[in-house]
């Protein structure tokens, strides 16, 4: 199979995989959508880099078409916004596709006659690429395969043990088996049923072991806590132009209408409260009075300045007027809140950039210890895992996705919240300005959820717990064999190159 045909088939394979992350009702297709690209590699191992590059580029570019909303939100001209978004989408897709494909290049010209060996090596290298994107080069782990199937909690329970990467590993392993099935079927090899059986066994085994894990981490408590999430649904323009006191007043009025005598905690989304809260008594008085009058605590996102540095933060106001420690966001948005170091540092979408918080703060509340993530931080499993190991009994994600778009990115971002809940076996509340706001149980089931792009409140009972899962304690140890495999292949590549040079 030549490179052009490989590139075309792999690009289509990536596009189909991207579709599964755009339409949640098609999530099951991810178990077969990657198989065509793998089949190209099985037919000609020398095209592996080409196949994976076009697969990854097509997948990222298609799944992240919502990037076009970013430019249109922050540019006054639609034409300028379109081209800015296009450049951003192509640049990010190219960078991610190249860095994800390079590890596969190490497999080129290495003959894997044993299907089991090839399946294992290929799958481990794939999750190595996913893991790599969480740390290099732009810290963008948005498109992990595990998030595609997060909408079906039955399939992701093993994340409590080995994290979301283990779920991605299973998806890839099933796709490789399906690729072998197609290969044998085309060749009319009577062994074609073997990989199909393995594919089915892996799928069923994942669900079976997941149920066992879910039972192991099940817990009961006699102390439920009722919380309420306030979804203001402010557009980018409204957030920019409306007076901060008006926005705060509307959040308070919205919450007041839905409060019940059992409500203990009200949550406002990211930057719902102005930085004036810390120095303007006229501005903050209404929030203090709201908390005291209704005997509730309020968890809210706000901007916070200290030593001439501005932070994207959150904290809790208690009924008696006490303020918790302030959590400051530690994982910033590439190109939005910061620019990757290898690019000119004036490339920002936001007029006012934030500084990176250095310390992880567990926010104390009357209902328990809360581990907070602000917006983009929910994409990073390590943030929530660290919160859990430091004693968090409930996870809270405060977000403002208005600048991402009105549909697909809201759903994609919410899938990360589901994964964080399962990985750490914690009730997880997500309060987002435009949605999706939700309460998620420790096994990934959605207890209560808002509609997208609507002014709304969401109320539900949550249970705090002290569970520390294997994953929250040990992190992505599944990446260890991936690193070893990549290292061994790299050494082999160097040795082969030296030998070939010596004898030519």
pLDDT of residue 99: 94
CA–CA dist 171, 148 (Å, integer)? 10
Q: 3-class DSSP state for residue 224?
A: coil
CA–CA dist 233, 279 (Å, integer)? 26
Q: Which token pair is 367?
A: 């209902």
Report whether 403 contacts 73 (CB < 8 A).
Answer: yes
CA–CA dist 105, 226 (Å, integer)? 52
Task: Select from 137, 182, 172 the least CA-distant residue to 55.
Answer: 172
Q: What DSSP character marks residue 430? A: E
pLDDT of residue 237: 85
Burial class (CB in 10 A: 0-12, 13-18, 19+), 491: exposed
382-385 LR contacts (CB < 8 Å, sep 24+): 382/134, 382/475, 382/476, 383/330, 383/331, 384/420, 384/423, 384/424, 384/426, 384/472, 385/423, 385/424, 385/471, 385/472, 385/475
Cis peptide before 436 (omega within 30 of 0): yes
- Element spanning 148, H or E: helix 145-148
Q: What DSSP character marks residue 5? A: H
User: pLDDT tens digits for 339-348?
Assistant: 555 455 455 5
Q: What DSSP character marks residue 142? A: T
CB-based burial, 126-147: b 16+ in 10 Å, e otherwise: bbbbbbbbbeebbbbbbbbbbb
pLDDT of residue 325: 94
What does DSSP say about strands 368-374 and 394-399: parallel, antiparallel, or unpaired? parallel
Domains of the chain: 3-217+476-502 (no CATH), 225-468 (3.60.110.10)
- DSSP per residue over 226-272, as a string? EEEEEE----HHHHHHS-HHHHHHHHHHHHHHH--TTEEEEE--TT-
CA–CA dist 317, 399 (Å, integer)? 18
pLDDT tens for the 504 residues of the chain, in order: 577 899 999 999 999 999 999 998 999 999 999 999 999 999 988 899 999 999 999 999 999 998 888 777 666 677 777 888 888 889 989 999 999 999 999 998 777 888 999 999 999 999 999 999 988 877 888 999 999 999 999 999 999 999 999 999 999 999 999 999 999 999 887 788 999 999 999 999 999 999 999 999 987 666 899 999 999 999 888 888 899 999 999 999 999 999 999 999 999 999 999 999 999 999 999 999 999 999 999 999 999 988 888 899 999 999 999 999 999 999 887 766 655 554 554 555 555 578 888 889 999 999 999 999 999 999 999 999 999 999 999 999 999 988 888 889 999 999 999 999 999 999 999 999 998 999 999 999 999 999 999 999 999 999 999 999 999 999 999 999 999 999 999 998 888 778 777 666
pLDDT of residue 110: 78
User: pLDDT tens digits for 250-278?
Assistant: 999 999 999 999 999 999 999 999 999 99
Give the CB-side neighbour count of residue 155, counting CA atoms within 13 A: 21
Task: Select from 360, 364, 369, 355 the least CA-distant residue to 316.
Answer: 364
pLDDT of residue 361: 93
Tally of CB atoms within 10 A around 484: 11
C-alpha distance across the termini of the chain, in Å: 28
Sign of the Cα torsion 385, 386, 389, 391 reads: negative
Q: 3-class DSSP state for residue 321?
A: coil
Task: Select from 235, 227, 305, 303 the least CA-distant residue to 266.
Answer: 227
Q: Which token pair is 76?
A: 């006054």
């Amino acid at each position: 199979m030549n490179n052009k045909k490989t590139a075309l088939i792999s690009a289509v394979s990536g596009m189909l995989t991207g579709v599964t992350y755009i339409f949640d009702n098609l999530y099951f297709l991810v178990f077969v959508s990657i198989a065509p690209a793998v089949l190209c590699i099985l037919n000609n191992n020398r095209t592996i880099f080409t196949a994976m590059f076009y697969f990854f580029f097509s997948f990222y570019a298609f799944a992240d078409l919502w990037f076009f909303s970013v430019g249109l939100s922050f540019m006054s001209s639609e034409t300028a916004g379109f081209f800015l978004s296009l450049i951003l989408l192509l640049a990010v897709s190219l960078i991610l596709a190249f860095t994800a494909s390079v590890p596969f290049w190490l497999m080129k010209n290495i003959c894997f006659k044993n299907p089991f060996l090839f399946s294992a090596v290929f799958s481990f290298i794939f999750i190595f690429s996913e893991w790599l994107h969480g740390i290099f080069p732009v810290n963008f782990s948005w498109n992990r395969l595990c998030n595609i199937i997060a909408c079906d909690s039955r399939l992701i329970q093993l994340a409590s043990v080995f994290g979301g990467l283990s779920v991605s590993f299973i998806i890839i392993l099933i796709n490789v088996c399906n690729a072998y099935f197609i290969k044998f079927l085309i060749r009319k090899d009577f062994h074609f049923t073997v990989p199909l059986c393995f594919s089915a066994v892996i799928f069923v085994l994942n669900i079976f072991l997941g149920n066992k894990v879910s039972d192991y981490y099940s817990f009961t408590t006699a102390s439920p806590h009722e919380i309420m999430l306030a979804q203001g649904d402010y557009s980018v323009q409204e957030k920019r132009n409306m007076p901060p006191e008006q926005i705060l007043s509307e959040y308070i009025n919205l919450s007041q209408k839905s409060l019940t005598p059992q409500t203990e905690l009200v949550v406002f989304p990211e930057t719902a409260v102005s930085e004036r809260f810390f120095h303007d008594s006229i501005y903050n008085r209404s929030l203090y009075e709201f908390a005291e009058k209704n005997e509730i605590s309020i968890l809210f996102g706000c901007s916070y300045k200290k030593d001439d540095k501005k932070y994207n933060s959150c904290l809790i106001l208690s009924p008696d007027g006490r303020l918790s420690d302030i959590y400051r966001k530690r994982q910033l948005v590439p190109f939005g809140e910061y620019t990757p170091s290898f690019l000119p540092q004036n490339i920002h979408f936001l007029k006012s950039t934030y500084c990176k918080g250095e310390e992880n703060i567990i926010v104390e509340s009357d209902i328990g210890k809360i581990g907070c993530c602000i917006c983009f931080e929910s994409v990073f499993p390590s943030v929530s895992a660290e919160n859990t190991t430091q004693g968090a009994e409930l996870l809270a994600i405060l977000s403002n996705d208005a600048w991402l778009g009105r549909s697909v990115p809201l759903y994609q971002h919410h899938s990360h919240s589901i994964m964080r809940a399962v990985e750490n076996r914690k009730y997880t509340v997500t309060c987002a300005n435009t949605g999706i706001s939700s309460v998620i149980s420790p096994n990934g089931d959605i207890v209560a959820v808002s509609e997208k792009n609507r002014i709304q409140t969401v109320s539900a009972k949550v249970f705090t717990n002290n569970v520390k899962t294997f994953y929250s304690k040990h992190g992505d140890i599944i990446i260890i064999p991936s690193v070893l495999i990549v290292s061994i292949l790299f050494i082999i590549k160097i040795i082969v190159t030296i030998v070939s040079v010596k004898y030519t």
